[in-house]
């Protein structure tokens, strides 16, 4: 099956295969071709170039993209799309003056979602999560990481990971699964952290590994949640089963968790609303991708990740949605990109790099996703007619996506 896209006004994020991420000043460069073609063969990008070099072939399908932009699908490397019910009451409580922390201390927050999750059947959780996944596909996401972490029991965590596995089986989007048993301490373990960590390591992890339900491991390294030492235990245990770490860290406080993550060769450190000079230093020349979640900052009114400071220091940065019922009930990566430009002062070039190639790196798939590269997956966003790609973050409330292609096939 061949699909030929012709007359593309601008083909964005064209890269050689050896570029796995972009850092520092290189983030400001978004390589593109104007008046281009792109050839898809089966589920891969087979060729692309200027229209004057367009192959004279009779493809099975031809799409005229006159006036439109084409870019790789968003790679959303941090979500909690699988959950039961929602938490709109907490949203109203925050409007009325309570903080995220105060709500959590009253039994709300993560434990509220864990209660709902454990009371809901696997089938019902699947049906609720499927709707969210299908929504983000329409919004241009072509690869997504999904975490467990609302079970906090052996059965609950396995149930979530099985739902993720089933979502992956039934949808064309690429999905990576992350085990987040260390998301919060269940009430009965509040005074006995070691016992819950033992449960994670001795009961949950072996079963998850046996059923091959996770690609990565995560922990919420934060004051009042998992300490740096506890997070290190989780990272070490995951590594024994071949699960690399992607860690929630520096959301509310800086407790030197980033240094521990770099020491354990974490694939990514995520949130980073509070970042110290030492954190930046330790990330330099590491393999660990910093990931910012601007929709979370927006929704719960906390600081934005200091992108300018980090990029100026030469670091790479990825952008992800954090789609979850508590801090970010949205998986719209178009909004993430726009918010990064508007609130974090990232340029559109930097934000698109962060939400495609660097996002792919942050979930270990940059060899196959995140750029327009021969041999990579044909996961594409075709925009409506635009003046320039700057319109994508500029018109932040508009849907500028006309069509989505996943694995070479048209979705919308």
Contacting residues toward ligand NIG, per CB under 6 A? 109-110, 113, 220, 248, 251, 296, 322, 324-327
Query: Whose CB is nearest to ligand NIG?
Result: 326
Q: Which does 406 bind (CB under 5 to 8 A by kind): ligand NIG, Fe ion, none?
A: none
Task: Give the interface segment with Fe ion, choosing from 23-31, 192-200, 316-324, 379-387 (CB under 5 A).
Answer: 316-324
Q: Which does 221 bind (CB under 5 to 8 A by kind): Fe ion, ligand NIG, none?
A: none
Residue 218 in the binding site for Fe ion (CB under 5 A): no
User: Cβ contacts of residue 114 below 8 Å, gap of 6+?
Assistant: 150, 151, 152, 156, 184, 186
Residue 222 in the binding site for Fe ion (CB under 5 A): no
Tokens 């922390």 label which residue? 101
Yes or no: say if 136 and 174 are a contact pair by the CB < 8 Å rule: no
Q: Which is nearer to ligand NIG, 139 or 328 (CB)?
A: 328
Yes or no: say if 22 and 353 are a contact pair by the CB < 8 Å rule: yes
Q: Which is nearer to ligand NIG, 63 or 266 (CB)?
A: 266
Q: Which is nearer to Fe ion, 38 or 292 (CB)?
A: 292
Using DSSP bridges, classify how beta strands 61-64 and 318-319 pair: parallel, antiparallel or unpaired.
unpaired
One character per residue 75-104, x = contact with Fe ion (rule: CB under 5 A): ------------------------------
Residue 48 CA neighbour count, 13 Å, CB half: 29
Residues 10 to 39: which contact Fe ion by CB under 5 A? none
What are the phi and psi torsion angles at 347 (to 5°)? -75, 160
Residues in the interface with Fe ion (CB under 5 A) total 1
Helix (H) or strand (E) holding 250: none
Q: Which does 113 bind (CB under 5 to 8 A by kind): Fe ion, ligand NIG, none?
A: ligand NIG
Residue 289 to residue 78: CA distance in whole angstroms: 12
Question: Shortest approach of Fe ion to residue 405 CB, angstroms?
Answer: 28
Kindly tell me which residue out of 145, 157, 230, 322 binds Fe ion, with binding defined by CB under 5 A.
322
Q: Which is nearer to Fe ion, 113 or 373 (CB)?
A: 113
Question: Shortest approach of Fe ion to residue 302 CB, angstroms?
Answer: 13
Q: Write out the DSSP string of 77-119.
A: -------SS--HHHHHHHHTT--HHHHHHTT-THHHHHHHHHH
Residue burial 379-406, b: 16+ Cβ < 10 Å; e: rest: bbbbbeebeebebbbbeeeeebbebbbb
Furthest C-alpha separation in the chain = 70
The pair of three-digit structure tokens given for residue 188, joined into one six-digit string = 């009965």
Q: Which is nearer to ligand NIG, 215 or 270 (CB)?
A: 270
Q: Which is nearer to Fe ion, 273 or 322 (CB)?
A: 322
Residue 215 in the binding site for Fe ion (CB under 5 A): no
Question: Shortest approach of ligand NIG to residue 9 CB, angstroms?
Answer: 37
Question: Shortest approach of Fe ion to residue 322 CB, angstroms?
Answer: 4
**Residue ranges in contact with Fe ion by CB under 5 A:** 322
């Amino acid at each position: 099956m061949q699909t030929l896209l012709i007359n593309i006004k601008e083909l964005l994020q064209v890269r050689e295969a050896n570029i796995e991420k972009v850092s520092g000043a290189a983030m400001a460069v978004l390589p593109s071709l104007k008046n281009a073609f792109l050839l898809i063969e089966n589920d891969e990008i087979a060729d692309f170039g200027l229209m004057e070099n367009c192959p004279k072939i009779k493809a099975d399908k031809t799409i005229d993209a006159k006036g439109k932009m084409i870019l790789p699908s968003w790679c959303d490397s941090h979500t909690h799309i699988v959950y039961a019910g929602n938490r709109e009451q907490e949203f109203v409580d925050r409007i009325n003056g309570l903080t995220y922390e105060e709500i959590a201390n009253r039994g709300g927050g993560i434990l509220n979602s864990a209660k709902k999750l454990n009371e809901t059947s696997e089938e019902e959780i699947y049906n609720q999560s499927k709707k969210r996944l299908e929504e983000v596909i329409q919004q241009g996401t072509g690869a997504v990481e999904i975490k467990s972490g609302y079970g906090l029991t052996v059965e609950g965590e396995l149930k979530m990971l099985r739902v993720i596995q089933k979502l992956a089986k039934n949808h064309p989007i690429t999905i990576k699964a992350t085990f987040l048993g260390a998301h919060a301490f269940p009430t009965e373990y509040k005074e006995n952290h070691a016992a819950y960590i033992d449960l994670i390591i001795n009961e949950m992890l072996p079963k998850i590994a046996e059923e091959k339900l996770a690609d990565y491991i995560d922990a919420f390294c934060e004051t009042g949640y998992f300490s740096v030492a506890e997070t290190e235990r989780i990272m070490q245990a995951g590594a024994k089963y071949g699960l690399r770490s992607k860690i929630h860290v520096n959301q509310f406080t800086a407790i030197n968790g980033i240094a521990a993550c770099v020491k354990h060769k974490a694939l990514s450190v995520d949130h980073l609303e509070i970042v110290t000079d030492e954190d930046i230093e330790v990330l330099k020349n590491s393999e660990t991708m910093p990931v910012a979640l601007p929709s979370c900052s927006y929704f719960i009114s906390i600081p934005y990740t200091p992108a300018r400071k980090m990029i100026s220091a030469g670091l790479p940065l990825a952008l992800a949605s954090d789609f979850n019922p508590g801090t970010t009930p949205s998986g719209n990566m178009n909004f993430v990109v726009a918010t990064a430009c508007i609130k974090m002062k990232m340029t559109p070039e930097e934000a698109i790099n962060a939400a495609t190639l660097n996002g792919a790196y942050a979930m270990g798939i940059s060899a196959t996703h995140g750029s327009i590269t021969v041999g990579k997956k044909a996961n594409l966003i075709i925009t409506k007619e635009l003046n320039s790609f700057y319109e994508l973050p500029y018109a932040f409330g508009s849907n500028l996506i006309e069509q989505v292609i996943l694995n070479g096939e048209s979705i919308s």
